[in-house]
Amino acid sequence: EDQVTQSPEALRLQEGESSSLNCSYTVSGLRGLFWYRQDPGKGPEFLFTLYSAGEEKEKERLKATLTKKESFLHITAPKPEDSATYLCAVQRSGFQKLVFGTGTRLLVSP
């Protein structure tokens, strides 16, 4: 069974304090690993797709990396507007369905 585990459940940072969120996964044949951002009361917003180990993608202060067992979302010099829940999901090859983790709640204080 495909599984996704995200850690930590919650993370509190000071503005400018860089850190990383972790997404560990088990899947039989990875087609893609997806990162989403979710603000309170809103739907998840797509951030990145990673397809193979060693791949990296960046967007503003966020960088996502992928190994064969886990993905990291690195947040460099975060700002309060980066506060949100970050969700990770995996897709198995040959399947359309995504399996989501329960997310990491990030709070960035000024």
Partner 1 sequence: NAGVTQTPKFQVLKTGQSMTLQCAQDMNHNSMYWYRQDPGMGLRLIYYSASEGTTDKGEVPNGYNVSRLNKREFSLRLESAAPSQTSVYFCASSGQGTLYEQYFGPGTRLTVT
Residue from 99, 83, 81 nearest 21 by CA: 83
- Residue 53: both structure tokens together: 């180990």
- Residue 46: both structure tokens together: 């797509």
Closer of 44 and 78 to partner 1 (Cβ): 44
- Residue 14: both structure tokens together: 């000071």
Closer of 49 and 76 to partner 1 (Cβ): 49
Question: Nearest distance from residue 99's CB to partner 1, in Å?
Answer: 8
Exposure on the CB side of residue 94, measured as CA atoms within 13 A: 3
By the criterion CB under 8 A, which residues form the site for partner 1? 31-32, 34, 36, 41-46, 49, 87, 89, 91, 96-98, 100-103
Question: Nearest distance from residue 67's CB to partner 1, in Å?
Answer: 21
Question: Nearest distance from residue 26's CB to partner 1, in Å?
Answer: 15
Question: Nearest distance from residue 9's CB to partner 1, in Å?
Answer: 9
Closer of 4 and 108 to partner 1 (Cβ): 4
Phi/psi of residue 81, nearest 5 degrees: -70, -10
CB 35 within 8 Å of CB 87: yes
CB 52 within 8 Å of CB 68: no
Closer of 36 and 78 to partner 1 (Cβ): 36
